[in-house]
Structure formats: structure tokens, C-alpha cells
Amino acid sequence: MNVISFDIIPSTNEYCARNISSLTHGDVITARRQSAGRGRKSRKWSSEEGGLYFSLVLKEGLSLLKSPGTLTQLMALAVCKAARRAGAEAYIKWPNDVLAQGRKFCGILSEAVFEGQALKAVIVGVGINLSQKELNSDKPAVTLAELGVKADAEFLLKEIIDNFNFNFELLKRDGFEALRSSYKEAFLYLGKPVKMHIFEETVQGTAEDIDAEGRLILRQGKTLRVINIGDMDF
């Protein structure tokens, strides 16, 4: 694992995007703090000391993937597994938030880098709340410390990257189907009522399944709806 560490930079994702030509597949960029951490939907990701902030650079094997979006789900699964090993009762809220006790402790932002039409790289950025005071408040949030989990940042990072790399091989070879059962096991909402926000629309239904491409199958009465983008309510 090739890790490049900084004390403070604006954003590990932004660093990777700016230096993408000189970075190689599998490089991990970490920062103890970020001065302009990015969240999803152009939100700010507060990144004071006490959290784990890193980005993983992927350049190889991307053409083998049916949908690069599944990389974010793969990372959510890796974080969930690592947090469980550290002692947290972690689970996934589709597609890629990682929670414990109903509160989010990890956010993931994947960003694609194109050269013309060709996908050149994917940067998978991860922010994990370990023990910092100020949390990102788009959703109810928690730190692992508040959950009574003393997670060492280095241990977590290694566990996450090892798990991701192992599953990335499976994903390239067999598609999301290879991870589907592990992902479904980590996704606690199967068979339960959920409320989704899809762009401007809010839909309700039952989380019936996760399909072979990582999409959510939502049951609304007799109708099954395939959802590939959206946010679930907490």
C-alpha cells in the first residue's frame, strides 16, 4: 500500500484530481485535516483533526466495470467491515453511507477523471468520524469514539484498503454479483419501509432487494422500481 500523507491540504480528492497524471493505481492520499473538504452534492465536508480523511486512486481495470458507481458501494462495504472489526455495529444505508445506531460516521465521495470521453481514473474519497468535535450535519452523525469504539486510524485505513483491493478483484472478474450477498448482509433495510429522495422526487416503498448491479429494488404495492441513484432518509 503506497500512502502519501499530509498534515493539512484543501482536500485529498482535489489533490488527487490535480496530480492524477503522476499518481499510480492504488495510491492512497491521507490528510490529518482538510481546509476545503468536499462532500456530496457540492457540500462542504468539515475535516478537523480527529477524523480519518483519505482518497484512493484507481486507474487500472476500470473498463472491466459495468458501472463505476459500484466502486463507491465497494468502499462502503470495506469501511463497514473494518469498523465492525474495530468493534462498531456498523451497517450500510444504500448506496454508500455507513452508519451505526442510526447515525452516519462515514461519507464517501467518488469522482471520475476523464480524458476526452475516456475514463482515466476514479478517485474514491472517504471521511470517517473518529473523535473530532465538529461533525457534518446533513444527516444525524456520530463518531466512533462516541460509540465507545477506539479505532486506530492506521489500523482502519489498512483494513479498509486491504478489503477494498480484495473485493475489487472480484468486482472486475464477476461484477457486483460477486459482492451482492455481503453487501445485502451489511444493508440493514432489506424488507423494511424506506423513504427515498431521487432528485426532486420523494418516494416511499419497501426495500425489496439489491440487484446484480448494486441497484435498489423498491417495492411500491405491486410495482417494483429499479433505483440507481438517490438518498435514503435516516
Residues that bind ligand BTN (CB under 6 A): 11-13, 34, 37-40, 43, 45, 53-55, 107-109, 125-127
In whole angstroms, the minimum distance from the beta carbon of 36 to ligand BTN comes to 7
CA atoms of 231 and 128, how far apart (whole Å): 19
Supply the DSSP symbol for 133: S
Q: Which C-beta is closer to ligand BTN: that of 107 or that of 175?
A: 107
Residue 67 or 137: which CB sits closer to ligand BTN?
137
What minimum distance in Å lies between the beta carbon of 42 and ligand BTN?
Answer: 10
Report which of 71, 64, 59, 75 is spatially closest to residue 22, judged by C-alpha positions: 59
Give the nearer residue to ligand BTN in terms of CB position, either 43 or 59.
Answer: 43
| 58: Cβ contacts below 8 Å, ≥ 6 apart | 25, 26, 71, 121, 122, 123, 124, 168
78 with 163: CB under 8 angstroms?
Answer: yes
The residue sitting closest to ligand BTN, measured at its beta carbon, is 107
CA distances for 69 relative to 76, 78, 111, 140, angstroms: 12, 15, 10, 24
Cβ at position 39, least distance to ligand BTN in Å: 3
Q: d(Cα 155, Cα 15) in Å, to the nearest integer?
A: 23
Q: Minimum distance from CB of 126 to ligand BTN (Å)?
A: 6
Q: Which one, 99 or 175, has the nearer CB to ligand BTN? A: 99
Q: Which is nearer to ligand BTN, 177 or 189 (CB)?
A: 189
Question: What's the rounded Cα separation, in Å, for the pair 94 and 219?
Answer: 15
Minimum CB–partner distance for residue 99 and ligand BTN (Å): 11
